[in-house]
Amino acid sequence: MSGKTADKIRIPLAGDWSMNGVTHQIPHLVEQLASLSGSLSSKESQTCAAANPPEVVLSGIDELDASGCQLMATFLHNLKQRGVMPLLTDVPDAIKEKIQFLGFGRELGSYFKTLQVCV
């Protein structure tokens, strides 16, 4: 579920992002994608989203493997295709290491860019 805090959209990802749990993540992600797409229908909101990108919060992820990385990358690319450039935040070290180890450093690395703030 996404939540707005001072105009900031936060998309928390949680639970099992390994082969055992990836299928269960899909409905939540599709829901987030639809919700974001709807909220970005106006030009004004798109401008704000570009300046104040949604944050995808990874602190709740318990398990992550290659299938999870693939799903995460697909989700982020889908957001990007809809004009949203999200940021990955609150990434636990273990998850960071796993992403790098599985070779998704470049695929997901661009989403770690310096945070921008909508003033």
Q: Which of residues 15-74 bind another protein (CB under 8 A)?
A: 19, 22-23, 25-26, 29-30, 33, 65-67, 69-71, 73-74
Q: What 3-state DSSP class applies to 33?
A: helix
83 binds another protein (CB under 8 A): no
Q: Which amino acid is at 78?
A: N
Question: Six-digit token pair at 117?
Answer: 């703030």
103 belongs to the binding site for another protein (CB under 8 A): yes
Q: Work out how close the CB of 28 gets to another protein at its nearest, in angstroms, rounded to a whole number.
A: 11
For 46, other C-beta atoms within 10 Å of its C-beta total 15
76/83 Cα distance (integer angstroms) = 11
What's the Cα-to-Cα distance from 77 to each of 47, 114, 118, rounded to whole Å?
Answer: 19, 18, 22
Q: Which of 38, 81, 117, 119 binds another protein (CB under 8 A)?
A: 81
Identify the three-state secondary structure at position 54. coil
Q: How do beta strands 3-5 and 8-17 pair?
A: antiparallel
- Tell which one of 77, 83, 115, 118 touches another protein (CB under 8 A): 77
CB of 6 to another protein, least distance (A): 26
- Residue 109 interacts with another protein (CB under 8 A): yes or no: yes
Q: Which residues contribute to the site for another protein (CB under 8 A)?
A: 19, 22-23, 25-26, 29-30, 33, 65-67, 69-71, 73-75, 77-78, 81, 93, 96-107, 109-110, 112-113
